[in-house]
Amino acid sequence: MDISIVVPLYNEEESLNELNDWILRIMESNHFSFEIVYADDGSSDDSWKVIENLSDKNKQVRGLSFRRNYGKSAALNEAFKIVSGEVVVTMDADLQDSPDEIPGLYDMIIKEDFDIVSGWKRKRYDSKLMKNMPSRFFNWTTRRLFKTKLHDMNCGLKAYKNEVVKNIELYSEMHRYIPIIARKEGFDKIGEKVVVHQKRKYGITKFGLDRFLKGYLDLLSLYFISKFGQRPMHFFGAMGTFIFTIGFVIASYLAYAKFFEAAYKMTERPLFYFGMLAMVIGTQLFMAGFLGEMISRNSSKKSLYHIKKKINLNNDSEKQK
């Protein structure tokens, strides 16, 4: 199979028929063998009914539906497990990503041998205050922290080699940083393609102000994990050793002053308590690093999401009810 198209969605019933027809036109005109996987992230509208109708008309349309809303990362994570195309293309369901870009993304993966090709919405039609400015800030920060050249990390329109999506795990809001996660796994040939961004035609955006805080915290979390996730002792142990050493030096000085210089009221000095506190904190940080090391070497990395229904998937001969 040439292409798997993954479409995560939440309450997008109005746009699904139009999007599906658009994708089919592009696939058929380019003679691709393909599948379309809709990942319904617990929609409360009739999105799943629309997907069921689309699958009845075309067996290349597949779908999975969560029991509740887990988030876009969860939807992508579960969809990636079931795709079989040589190239996997992700796009949003709100019609702001154009299926016309798919052949170009496919060619860059196949002909230019990129592991990932990320879309770049150079000209955006979103709110400048609510989306454009925060997006530019996060992209700028990400480029500085991770030494990447991508301009639009959060663009939903991306293409991947199949082996890439089979070797990464997404959780929380980490879908924003898939290229960084993939690079950590050794997929470092990452390209970028300027893509068309369109105005939202139906409904409203599903992301609120809380995404700014979540995105910032996930960025810091990813930076820490990418550097110390497999070796937490290097971070906590080093800090703990440094702080403990400061406390030990202070305690040694006070002990010397007590016994060799006949100093008095040592325990009433603020320096005494500072030294003791530094030694306690240093010991705790060192133990945190040790425990983190043990946990990282024995923990399972699996995230569990409860899927309610599936359509036209390989392990399902018929719809699950």
The chain-wide mean pLDDT, for the chain, equals 85
Average pLDDT over residues 24-31: 96
> Is the pLDDT confidence value at 66 over 90?
yes
- Which is more confident, 6 or 142? 6
- Which is more confident, 23 or 224? 23
Under 8 Å between Cβ of 218 and 177: yes
CA distance 212 to 218: 10
Stated as kind and residue range, the H or E segment containing 40 is strand 34-40
> Is the pLDDT confidence value at 18 over 60?
yes
Q: Cα angle at 154 between 151 and 159, to 5 degrees?
A: 85
274-304 burial by CB neighbour count: b if 16+ within 10 A, else e?
ebeebbebbeebbebbeebbeebeeeeeeee
pLDDT for position 301:
56
Q: Where along the chain do its domains lie?
A: 3-228, 232-298
Confidence at 303, pLDDT banded by 50, 70, 90: low
Closest CA to 34 of 316, 319, 312: 312
* Chain CA centroid to CA 231, Å: 21
Percent of the chain with pLDDT over 90: 52
pLDDT for position 84:
95
pLDDT for position 229:
66
> Is the pLDDT confidence value at 125 over 80?
no
> Is the pLDDT confidence value at 50 over 60?
yes
Under 8 Å between Cβ of 282 and 245: yes
Which of 48-62, 119-133, 137-151, 208-222 is modeled with the greatest confidence?
Answer: 48-62
- Which is more confident, 3 or 222? 3
- Which is more confident, 279 or 173? 279
CA distance 283 to 290: 11
pLDDT for position 312:
81
Q: Cα angle at 248 between 246 and 252, to 5 degrees?
A: 120
Alpha-carbon dihedral of residues 285, 181, 62, 58, nearest 10 degrees? 170
Please tell me the CATH superfamily of domain 3-228, with its number: Spore Coat Polysaccharide Biosynthesis Protein SpsA; Chain A (3.90.550.10)
Lowest mean pLDDT among 20-24, 124-128, 251-255, 275-279: 124-128
Alpha-carbon dihedral of residues 51, 52, 56, 58, nearest 10 degrees? 20
Average pLDDT over residues 61-81: 94
> Is the pLDDT confidence value at 316 over 50?
no
pLDDT for position 163:
96
User: For residue range 201-222, what is the model confidence (pLDDT) as tens digits?
Assistant: 787 666 555 666 676 777 777 7
CA distance 164 to 203: 32
Question: Backbone phi, then psi, for 117, in 5-degree steps?
Answer: -125, 120
Average pLDDT over residues 165-194: 89
Under 8 Å between Cβ of 20 and 51: no
CA distance 138 to 216: 8
pLDDT for position 127:
58
> Is the pLDDT confidence value at 318 over 50?
no
